[in-house]
Amino acid sequence: MYKKIAYFLIIFIFTSFSILPLSFAIDNINTIDTTNQMKIVDTASIADTLDSVYVWSNTTNSIQNTAVSASPVDLKLESASAILIEQSTGKVLYEHNSHEILRPASVTKVMSILLIMEALDSGQISLTDKVPCSEHASNMGGSQIWLDVTENLSVDEMLKAICVASANDCTVAMAEFLAGSEEAFVERMNNKAKELGMNDTTFKNCHGLDTDGHVTSSYDISLMSRELLTKHPSITNYTTIWMDTLRDGKSELTNTNKLIRNYAGATGLKTGSTDLALYNLSASATRDGLSLIAVIMKAPTTKTRFSEAQKLLDYGFSNYSFKQFAKKGDVLKNINVTKGVVSNVEAIFESDAGTLLQKGTGTDIQEIISIPDNITAPIAVGQKIGEVSYKLNGETLCSVNIVSNTEVKKINLHNMLQNVFFDWFRILR
């Protein structure tokens, strides 16, 4: 009996070696170069309405998005400065004196909230952490919830008070909790502003009360608003609250952003006003997959800032749409693997693929897939193996990398024999 098993085992190992591709065992076999071959492929599973072109290519272009020019339309705004951008791409759809240097007032808190969310999402702090209140924080004045030095609120409660009621005392308390002092926190704010390309901005405090030299622009506000909403979307759990309470119902909060209650799809974001700054607003909203950010600065009245922010958002939703081609992690296709422990690997989208379009356009979008028919092991998780581009009338709308979703080790004699014996044990069990 044992002789029979040994005999079949030898035959199985021999045949396993025979049926494996010769290239698995011999490294110097030349592979067929398929560069520059082209053919049309059916990609209905990715986007039913796209004309798809399959291009064999070894090019390594980086992710890019073409710009949609800001419309020359005049919305006849009374505010000193304004801008409208699309959130995912950052494309400017409308601007009016967008780089004019002005006082931000409490819209400053967008940057403070951004740094708080970075600390939360990185694990530096948690929502349940208790935050003490210093004498400095309790004496801030302006919009506040009258923090007392004897009480400790959670980070969750602090965020709620900052986002809903624009609480200056809570903002300073969080700044001190994160950086040790407001001054150290403001330094972080300015470093982040520089990182985001906010060249019109200098922060002097974390709350926005008037201080000489504390300035920004509507353009820069759109940059930090976009960073907050795209990198930390859970912030809308707070910025969309209309009314809530703290301290076991003893303190009532009402959102200073009236659009949250009155504008369909509103997601935030932050109001601000002082005697010198007048009335400012960073307003965000999402409808049918299109997310917009409208910034108003130095509006003459609070009513004007809301009506003109709504005018900007209405203009954007009436004239533009967002076309989603694929989502991060979607499988494009299976790619054959040579010299690997497995014969194929899933090629997936490295990031979301989509673009902003003017309404009435985008019916003849081409999808161009640049990917090899075979790849050679070893392959790392997330390794770029191709690219997909989307074009309209010869212009590239967006490009995204295609990557491997798993690791594939290079096959050798050891793991080849290991696989053979594993197969045998499964048969004999």
Residue numbers annotated as active site: 106, 109, 166
Q: Please compute Rg for the chain using Cα positions.
A: 28
Query: In whole angstroms, how far apart are CA 300 and each of 81, 97, 142, 273, 349?
Result: 11, 16, 20, 10, 47
54 forms bridges with which residues in the sheet? 39, 369
Non-local CB neighbours of 76 within 8 Å, separated by 6+ positions = none
Q: Dig out the tokens for 45 from the structure.
A: 């599973």
CB of 273 closer than 8 Å to CB of 279: yes
* Residue 102: alpha-carbon gap to chain centroid: 28
CB of 123 closer than 8 Å to CB of 155: no
Q: Read out DSSP for 48-102?
A: TT-EEEEE-----PPPEEPPPPPP-------SSEEEEEETTT--EEEEESTT--B
376 forms bridges with which residues in the sheet? 338
The Cα 414–Cα 341 span in angstroms is 11
Non-local CB neighbours of 27 within 8 Å, separated by 6+ positions = 339
Say which amino acid occupies 128: T
Burial 341-369 (b: 16+ CB within 10 A, else e): beeebebbbbeebbbbbeeeebeebbbbb
Q: Dig out the tokens for 171 from the structure.
A: 């903002």
The Cα 255–Cα 241 span in angstroms is 7
Token pair 């209309």 in the structure block, residue: 242
Q: Read out DSSP for 229-253?
A: HHH-GGGHHHHT--EEEETTTTEEE
Specify the length of the chain in residues. Answer: 429
Query: In whole angstroms, how far apart are CA 76 and each of 79, 183, 188, 293, 310?
Result: 9, 40, 37, 19, 13
Q: Dig out the tokens for 115 from the structure.
A: 């740094």
* Residue 219: alpha-carbon gap to chain centroid: 19
